[in-house]
Amino acid sequence: MGEQLTLFETQKKTTKPKVVNVASVPQRSPFRYPGGKTWLVPVIRRWLKQDTNNKHLCEPFVGGGIVSLTAAFENLASKITMIELDEEVASVWEVIINGDTNWLATTILEFDLTIENAKRVLSKNKKSIKEQAFSTILKNRIFHGGIITKGSGLIKNGENGKGIKSRWYAKTLHDRIMAINLVKNKIDFKTGDAFDFLEKNISDKEKYFFIDPPYTKAGKRLYTYFDIDHEKLFKLTSRLSGKYMLTYDDTDEIRRLTDKYNLLYKTIPMRTTHHIQKNEIIISDNFDWWV
């Protein structure tokens, strides 16, 4: 989860690995996103600065969108395309990027968070897209770990025994959404399938693709749409004409696919919120930008 992750980042070859505190990375997303990439932001900045052209960044598995949002706020790309298949997550982006941003921000600010009110919002049938967006933000904030899949449930004690209110920072959420409103003219959002999008853009030499799919091991617990064809994604990525970065957990299966499709990669150690250190794999068309 994005908020407290720490990255041990290898800097210049001669220096020792340096711990980057993610508290120094601005939080731009209205989501708490399981598997969020806030910890990777320093690496993303280097990747997007590899040349000086105007860039079109595409994020086909956008989730909480920290990479796209960082690029928009820091002018690392002049145009951004975000794609997400999960209808709950997508409804939030539809409303913020393509709809009534102000309504969502104000509704969050004015909501009286009690268990009864929350249950009423979440259990309503046939929600409009706006209601769906609000319900998703609420669920993401009051469900354990920000996990909104069917098997998930309400935070019990939360921070300092504050229960479901522990992660409901209404003013912060309002302000983040209104800040995105200021840069959304650079952003296109489409509800859709990452594979279709990549196929359509396979020959586009100008685009930058940041590809962060549900991972092979943890994906099932964290996302409603976790079951993707990983080999197909490797094959598609290997055929992209544009620049790309594909991230994965470091497992035997992923290393095998990386070798099979002859892709370049680096490993990067990171620490989860539970202070477990693990490696992730960064796959890219080139690593001239790495150091």
Ligand X SMILES: C[S@@+](CC[C@H](N)C(=O)[O-])C[C@H]1O[C@@H](n2cnc3c(N)ncnc32)[C@H](O)[C@@H]1O
Least distance between ligand X and beta carbon 104 (Å):
18
146 lies in the binding site for ligand X (CB under 6 A): no
For residue 253, what are its two tokens?
């299966």
Counted residue by residue, the chain has a size of 291
- DSSP conformation class of 29: -
Least distance between ligand X and beta carbon 108 (Å):
19
- Cα distances (Å, whole numbers) of residue 7 to 29, 49, 156: 19, 20, 29
For residues 106 and 191, which CB has a smaller minimum distance to ligand X in the complex?
191
CA 252 to CA 62: how far, in whole Å?
A: 25
DSSP line for 244-274: EEEEEE--HHHHHHHHHTT-EEEEEEEE-TT
3-class secondary-structure state, position 129? helix
Least distance between ligand X and beta carbon 165 (Å):
23
- The site string for ligand X over 170-189 (x = CB under 6 A, - otherwise) reads --------------------
For residues 144 and 156, which CB has a smaller minimum distance to ligand X in the complex?
144
What is the side-by-side order of every strand in the sheet holding 56-59?
18-21, 6-9, 264-271, 277-284, 243-249, 207-211, 56-59, 79-84, 187-191
84 lies in the binding site for ligand X (CB under 6 A): yes
- Cα distances (Å, whole numbers) of residue 197 to 60, 103, 202, 255: 7, 30, 9, 25
94 lies in the binding site for ligand X (CB under 6 A): no
Q: Which of 30, 35, 146, 242 binds ligand X (CB under 6 A)?
A: 35
CA 192 to CA 73: how far, in whole Å?
A: 24
# binding residues, ligand X (CB under 6 A): 25
Interface region with ligand X, contact rule CB under 6 A, candidates 5-13, 58-66, 157-165, 166-174: 58-66
39 lies in the binding site for ligand X (CB under 6 A): no
Least distance between ligand X and beta carbon 109 (Å):
23
Q: Which of 85, 92, 108, 245 binds ligand X (CB under 6 A)?
A: 85
For residues 162 and 235, which CB has a smaller minimum distance to ligand X in the complex?
235
CA 166 to CA 169: how far, in whole Å?
A: 8
282 lies in the binding site for ligand X (CB under 6 A): no
CA 122 to CA 127: how far, in whole Å?
A: 9
Q: Residue 151: is it exposed, middle or buried by C-beta count within 10 angstroms (0-12/13-18/19+)?
A: exposed
Least distance between ligand X and beta carbon 279 (Å):
16
C-alpha atoms less than 13 angstroms from C-alpha of 182 in its C-beta half-sphere: 8
For the chain, the helix, strand and coil percentages under 3-state DSSP, each to the nearest 5:
45, 20, 40
Q: Which of 5, 6, 22, 36 binds ligand X (CB under 6 A)?
A: 36
66 lies in the binding site for ligand X (CB under 6 A): yes
Least distance between ligand X and beta carbon 55 (Å):
18
Least distance between ligand X and beta carbon 81 (Å):
12
Least distance between ligand X and beta carbon 42 (Å):
14
For residues 64 and 242, which CB has a smaller minimum distance to ligand X in the complex?
64
List residues near ligand X by CB under 6 A.
Answer: 33, 35-37, 60-61, 63-67, 83-86, 89, 193-195, 212-214, 223, 225, 228
